A and B are shown apart, each in its own frame.
Chain A
């Protein structure tokens, strides 16, 4: 086999694949954050905890109800999304008239509560979740596990479907209109508060979906979302939250860059996204796809 700049191709493509998968999670999570932020002006700090809850929900459905992965893929986002709706009605909806930063502080507090409760119940060591599609195929230059291919294809489909729904359907046009002028849209007879609630539920559902997808790859554990969310915030700063397609592209792109860094300069793999954020802030402060204010 050939070698690329002293790196065996198996390692290179293996990390690329892992990078794409991380990118899929970044994309799903930053998409959810962007949708929520667009309509509610709240940055949802609970997003990481809700991603973790999605993974735990899949694990509980399997362990206590015998519902396999494919069932969890549908049920977990609905259950956690419904939980998100309850949270929005009970807590977040009380803060819309205040400065956005209070929403950040509130959701941060909620994340601490959820994470603490799960850590109390399950410890922090992690629970295994069996791979629903074991095996894979040899592509000649690398081994491609079926499940990983599935994660990339499926998450890309979900991202594009979300983009289509928001940018190309009537429902999406209401949503975009309400982002610009909620008062006017309300005056046209559309129930904006209900739309806000459902949008929050949808964003949370996306996070839970990412959690279910992650369960067979990473072990299910209470702190899986806490560190991820900080990286996703950096992704959001890099991409800017103005554009749906931008969030998707930035998510996948940064995942790949992170994967490549693991091959060529592993010491920087934890920080490369933050370094990119710094560079973007210097050159284009509004973010790659953001519009200057």
Chain B
């Protein structure tokens, strides 16, 4: 890894610091729709949650999944179907999507953790391609058309979410819940074991931890939260389509997390905002978007592997004159994917 390994024990007080940072971000997001188009913001929040869920796995357990789109996209289909065809209330639809993504995550995770490192990435990629073909052929997904015009029914029968402003705050609530779940997980004893597995799987095993079980729980949690993001996106855009289950989408979430900073708490949010904004501004340039995304991948891997947030934190800790390892715990932890 590019720099000296970083101890995972957080400095006293640094945990409060990242919670304070989140509170500041939340205030910013509460006011944001006054200045920025709410649909764009909701798109960013959905992808930010997706990237945070992905980061839980790659950044804290060291497992690179190259098939996370299967949870994101399939949950969107499930949510779209139960809301549109069965007339479910939107929250129930989102929960249904999340639950199905968790179940899918259990199956995919149980298979994928049987291999390590590069094989793990290839297995998840292949499994997600299988889900893609299933969605292409299954009846309920609507094939090439997807599920369109998913209604925005009143939330809990009370709140009218046809207004984008109202829906924005609902999405913000869902995002915050997902984010805090991940935050809590990382900073729990469970999370410490995950980091131990990332750093040295053999030693974690020898200390008596059932490594596979920990990996599987983390995988299911990550899949469920990716599903939560996908299902929410289906309600926002009133659409569930094949785009969200392609392996290119899996690549996109990898890119967001990489650019923002793998293994940092806020990196995936920054990365998602950056990539979604870029796609928005460049949408007129057609195939160039693909080329630019590829170039960002190459540049990030070669030049700043810690990502935007990771590099900023390293810079900040250097400016304070700390040893490089003593940055805030929210980020300086380098990613150490398993062999």
Q: Do A and B bind each other?
A: yes
In the complex the two chains form, is A237's CB within 8 Å of B123's CB?
Answer: yes
Interface size on A, residues (CB 8 A): 43
Determine the residue in chain A with the shortest Cβ distance to B295. Answer: A113
Asked whether any CB of chain A lies closer than 8 Å to the CB of B320, the reply is no
Asked whether any CB of chain B lies closer than 8 Å to the CB of A112, the reply is yes
Which residues of chain B come closer than 8 Å to A105, judged between CB atoms? 254, 258, 297, 301
Which residues of chain A come closer than 8 Å to B130, judged between CB atoms? 271, 274-275, 278
Give complex CA distance A278, B251 in Å.
Answer: 22
In the complex the two chains form, is B126's CB within 8 Å of A120's CB?
Answer: no
Asked whether any CB of chain A lies closer than 8 Å to the CB of B318, the reply is no
In the complex the two chains form, is B114's CB within 8 Å of A285's CB?
Answer: yes
Which residues of chain A come closer than 8 Å to B114, judged between CB atoms? 281-282, 285
Asked whether any CB of chain A lies closer than 8 Å to the CB of B337, the reply is yes
Stretch at the interface among B30-38, B91-99, B273-281, B283-291: B283-291
CB contact list, A112-142 vs B, under 8 A: 112-117, 119-120
Give complex CA distance A101, B119 in Å.
Answer: 10
Q: Smallest distance from the beta carbon of B196 to chain A beta carbons, Å? A: 17
In the complex the two chains form, is A120's CB within 8 Å of B294's CB?
Answer: no
Asked whether any CB of chain A lies closer than 8 Å to the CB of B188, the reply is no
In the complex the two chains form, is B115's CB within 8 Å of A281's CB?
Answer: yes
Asked whether any CB of chain A lies closer than 8 Å to the CB of B2, the reply is yes
Which residues of chain A come closer than 8 Å to B66, judged between CB atoms? 104
Determine the residue in chain A with the shortest Cβ distance to B107. Answer: A278
In the complex the two chains form, is A120's CB within 8 Å of B286's CB?
Answer: yes
Q: Smallest distance from the beta carbon of B105 to chain A beta carbons, Å? A: 15
Asked whether any CB of chain B lies closer than 8 Å to the CB of A181, the reply is no
Asked whether any CB of chain B lies closer than 8 Å to the CB of A108, the reply is yes
Q: What would be 23 A-B contacts, judged by CB atoms less than 8 Å apart?
A: A91-B302, A99-B337, A100-B118, A101-B337, A108-B254, A108-B297, A109-B296, A109-B297, A109-B301, A110-B294, A115-B294, A116-B288, A120-B287, A230-B129, A231-B129, A233-B125, A233-B126, A274-B133, A277-B123, A278-B130, A281-B111, A282-B111, A293-B116
Q: What 5 A-B pairs come out closest when comparing CB atoms? A: A109-B297, A112-B294, A116-B290, A113-B294, A116-B291
